[in-house]
């Protein structure tokens, strides 16, 4: 009689692991927090400005039975990246995973009215400098302890181009981050894995409010003919952080419904 294959109910489990989701209070970050907690991980939630949102999400996660806490840090500040790593390890360490999702919102905040040069500086400060310095330091901490996994968030159109000021600026920032992820993976292997998710059109705050023209463009450019959801990215993040992905590092994975242009 053929042997039955066991049902893998614990596939991509994060039971016994603990980590941080940087930029974890809304959108994709919030979904990742919820998903890693669902997978059994204890999670530290970073928020940039809205402490009320961080507190509310922390209480929600604590009710699921895992440990959860939060810390606030403005990543635009010069020394914020190193301070964030130190505080994360003091509060919750040693960490098994670090998800760096934080990015400047230049579409739905007052910064949308900033000049081209001002927007560039914000992106360089938050999306590039803070992400690189924080993940570099986190990787070293993991090497010095028991290893771990790092996950960064890029953008699927960064390496193929998108018209307009926002396209140019976000492409510059996210290409820097995606290239860094590939190189950091080589530097810190074999003890630490580094991967990057490059989302496509994801229905976050901007997607929920944007015009019909953009709604139709998303459907036209996405073979699966729908917006992506934050939960779609979160499920991929869970897998990449789990032991099932132990042979994956240095990858930039497009999660975009098949979009190629």
User: Is 146 contained in some domain?
Assistant: yes
Please tell me the predicted confidence (pLDDT) of residue 1.
47
Q: What digits encode the pLDDT tens for the residues 165-207?
A: 999 999 999 999 999 999 999 999 999 999 999 999 898 877 7
Residue linked to tokens 């968030």: 153
Structure tokens at 112: 């949308």
Per-residue pLDDT of 1-42, as tens digits, reads 455 554 556 899 999 999 999 999 999 999 999 999 999 999
Q: How far is CA 248 from the centre of its chain?
A: 17
Judge whether 168 lies within some domain: yes
Q: Shortest CA distance to 39 belongs to which of 191, 197, 245?
A: 245
Q: Is residue 186 part of a domain?
A: yes
Q: How many domains does the chain have?
A: 1
CA 8 to mean position of chain CA atoms: 26
CATH code at position 69: 3.40.50.720
Phi and psi at residue 211, in whole multiples of 5°? -75, 170
What pLDDT, in 10s, does the model give residues 110-145?
A: 888 999 999 999 999 999 999 999 999 999 999 999
In 3D space, the residue among 93, 256, 238, 16 whose CA is nearest the CA of residue 159 turns out to be 256
Collect all residues with Cβ–Cβ distance below 8 Å to 58 and sequence separation of at least 6: 45, 68, 69, 70
Q: Is 209 among the domain residues?
A: yes
| 67 in any annotated domain | yes
pLDDT at position 4 is 52
Dig out the tokens for 169 from the structure.
Answer: 């600026």
pTM of the model: 0.93
Mean pLDDT of 217-235: 92
**pLDDT at res. 9:** 61
Each residue of 61-106: pLDDT tens digit?
999 999 999 999 999 998 999 999 999 999 998 999 999 999 988 8
Quote the domain boundaries for residue 251. Answer: 18-255
Specify the pLDDT at position 149: 98
- Indicate the average pLDDT of the chain: 93
What pLDDT was estimated at residue 120? 96
């Amino acid at each position: 009689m053929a042997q039955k294959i066991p049902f893998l109910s614990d596939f991509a489990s994060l039971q016994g692991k603990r980590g941080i989701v940087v930029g974890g209070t809304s959108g994709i970050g919030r979904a990742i927090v919820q998903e890693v907690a669902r997978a059994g991980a204890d999670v530290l939630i970073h928020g940039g400005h809205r402490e009320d949102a961080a507190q509310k999400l922390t209480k929600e996660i604590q009710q699921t039975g895992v440990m959860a806490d939060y810390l606030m840090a403005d990543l635009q500040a010069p020394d914020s990246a190193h301070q964030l790593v130190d505080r994360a390890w003091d509060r919750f360490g040693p960490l098994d995973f670090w998800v760096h999702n934080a990015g400047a919102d230049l579409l739905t905040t007052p910064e949308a009215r900033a000049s081209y040069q001002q927007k560039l500086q914000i992106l360089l400060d938050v999306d590039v400098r803070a992400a690189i310095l924080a993940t570099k330091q986190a990787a070293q901490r993991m090497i010095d302890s028991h290893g771990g996994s790092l996950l960064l968030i890029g953008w699927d159109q960064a390496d193929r181009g998108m018209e307009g000021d926002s396209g140019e600026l976000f492409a510059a920032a996210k290409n820097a981050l995606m290239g860094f992820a590939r190189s950091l993976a080589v530097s810190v292997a074999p003890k630490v894995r580094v991967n990057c998710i490059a989302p496509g059109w994801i229905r976050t705050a901007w997607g929920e409010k944007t015009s019909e023209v953009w709604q139709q463009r998303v459907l036209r450019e996405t073979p699966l003919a729908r917006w992506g959801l934050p939960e779609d990215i979160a499920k991929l993040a869970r897998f990449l952080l789990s032991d099932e992905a132990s042979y994956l590092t240095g990858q930039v994975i497009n999660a975009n419904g098949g979009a190629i242009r």
